[in-house]
Amino acid sequence: MNVGYARTSTVEQVAGLEAQLRDLKREGCEKVFSEQVSAASERPKLDAALDFLREGDTLVVTKVDRLARSTQALGDIVDQLHQRGVALKVLQFGNETLDTNGAYGRFILNMFGAFAEFERSLMRERQIEGIQKAKVAGKYKGRKPSARLKADEVVRLFKNGKSVSEISREISIGRGSVYRALEQAGLK
């Protein structure tokens, strides 16, 4: 069975998620797990996909960086899959199926993982550099503290019986921000 996993880092990246879902369906994925969370945070749908997979199944992702943020994390996931007899297919490689069971496939996958990690590092360096320039020019104000502005709503929803995850989704802030608002209100 082909099982797909799609991820975007933020809820605003709707088109990116839709494109991944389209590609996974086109690839014949019978079941698809998707989420809109940063790879640096908990990914419950990835965990659910990994739990769902059985020996002989294939996990399908559109790009390596949708699955893991670093070569170490990628290696850990691939090792876990192989120990369970699950294949990995990355659509980034076009019509070719990347067989990660062999040495060559593993090498290519690690190369692409390293490139993705390198690209992420470069983006972060450019971002920091741009922020520093903007600060020197007096143009950087930082992002608006949207989570703090929603603290009263967080408390209201929590008192109405909503879970942290539900609150996070409903008002589009991170779970950590929800916990901070609840902690500041003396509720956690």
pLDDT of residue 96: 62
User: Where, residue-wise, is CATH 3.40.50.1390 in the chain?
Assistant: 2-117
Is pLDDT at 101 greater than 70 in this prediction?
Answer: no
User: Where, residue-wise, is CATH 1.10.10 in the chain?
Assistant: 146-184
Q: CATH topology for 2-117? A: Rossmann fold (3.40.50)
Whether 9 is catalytic:
yes
pLDDT digits (tens, 9 = 90+) for 121-175: 888 898 899 889 988 998 887 777 777 788 899 999 999 999 999 998 888 888 8
pTM comes to 0.60
Tell me what the pLDDT averaged over the chain comes to.
Answer: 86
pLDDT digits (tens, 9 = 90+) for 74-89: 888 888 998 899 988 8
* Catalytic entry in 9, 38, 41, 146: 9
Residue 94's pLDDT band (cuts 50, 70, 90): low
Q: What is the CATH class of 146-184?
A: mainly alpha
For 26-51, b/e burial (b = at least 16 CB within 10 A) is: ebebeebbbbbbebeeebebbeebbe
Tokens found for residue 72: 């170490």
